[in-house]
Amino acid sequence: KDETTPILWRGALITKAVTDFWTEVNWQELDLMVLDMPPGTGDIAMTVFQSLPITGIVIVTSPQDLVSMIVSKAVEMANKMNVPIIGIIENFSYFVCDECDKVHYPFGQNKGQSIAEKYNIPLLGQLPINPIINELADEGRIEEIESEDFTWLVETIMEA
């Protein structure tokens, strides 16, 4: 089918898909596995938290008020399920003007920091809005990103 056709899965089917992904794939020896999950506290998050050997999670937020509410629920869920939180990353925090090098915060400033302080979780970093990153992601070439922000962030997460 075409890429606009929705996948209409309910809880049991989603749970089975996540479980099969973990148990039926030959992952060989892994030092680290990174899972990018959808936002929220639904079936996927619950299944992952309950069935995978998680050593820690990184919560990704962005500086919109609605996102802050969803992230708060995710933090509470992780705490209730005894899943360690390594830290918070704020995505789309700012952009740097190409012409004047001034930093702009189109969605407000320090919202990731506020969440981190509220829950006593480290703020690992704030990532800029960067059209080059968007372009590479859309083209399936995300591994080609050359950014000090990402290098530093990966090193910080690996040390945690």
pLDDT digits (tens, 9 = 90+) for 89-146: 999 999 999 899 999 999 988 889 999 999 999 999 998 998 888 899 899 998 888 8
Range of the domain at 102: 55-159
Taking phi first (over 0 means left), then psi (-120 to 50 degrees means alpha), and beta for anything else, what does residue 35 get? beta
Asked whether residue 7 is assigned to any structural domain, the reply reads no
Please give the mean pLDDT across all residues of the chain: 90
What's the whole-model pTM score? 0.83
Asked whether residue 20 is assigned to any structural domain, the reply reads no
- The enclosing domain of 97 has a CATH number of 3.40.50.300
Output the pLDDT for position 1. 67
d(Cα 60, Cα 112) in Å, to the nearest integer?
A: 9
Number of structural domains the chain divides into: 1
pLDDT digits (tens, 9 = 90+) for 13-60: 989 998 999 899 998 888 888 888 888 888 899 999 998 989 999 999
